Structure 1
């Protein structure tokens, strides 16, 4: 497979997108290829080891700064933080394993025997939400729900900021009148 990677890189770059985009994607592909070929020095694994703690710190920071945690409404099934937060190293029940083994179809699985590397194709590999495929209209519905939830979170935080600002003004006025 690694012999095919340079050919894939050259094909991807030779499609003649604008130069700035070509450079951006060439950089992304090189990083993905390095990870696939295990030229990574282990830094990515070391950073990933503490990812849940970092996300928890990030969420606390957002909350402290009256900011919502939004999802990627354009591709909610690949929202990296949502995927990471949902991961568990606990074994699944036998019923769940049998369900996935016998009833769930992975459209990428058939391409694996042809040497396709899902990580190179989508940058996230298998780490994405698997769901029932109902066609493009369902994809649009999921994106719409994610966008709606983002908007609700934004509205909630805007109101919190407004109340916080009002509280600060009232506290300052109270302190001014007491001195």
Structure 2
């Protein structure tokens, strides 16, 4: 719980009064590798603080091929935002890729606090802005960078992730095949060493 408080305060400080009302809303849970935090075609009701572990957000096309949209590495916030905001069924599941410790809260409870505490509303806005900017940046990377540039940026952004998750997840995130990623990694290893 202390890490959650530090994480929030780093983004936008919360008063003691806000924290006293906010803290009891979060409950610690665990996700095992391959467990879903939110599934496809279900209504999302919770948001979570990912304390430790790795979660992926992905979608599946009509041929049942999966595409990793985003990786969340603790500490981070996870949740099916579109479903939470619109009340529609979720289209982008979130699944643990490692064992995870999370702190969950009902989104409706958090929304009530947004109206009561301006510092908490500001925190929520800053988190939303962060994810909006991250989404736009990823879209630009996919459109404007080649596979090598995207891979190098991935390694910089997620320095230890390659040791934690299967390579096919990374390939999917980068928009390349597993074979292409393998070739790319070999080429870079030869250049680096």
Range of TM-score over shorter length: under 0.3
Q: Give the structure with the higher percent strand.
A: 2
For normalisation by structure 2, the TM-score amounts to: 0.25
| Bigger RCO (CA 8 Å, 6+ sep) | 1
Quick check: which has more Rg, 1 or 2?
Answer: 1
Q: Give the structure with the higher percent helix.
A: 1
For normalisation by structure 1, the TM-score amounts to: 0.26
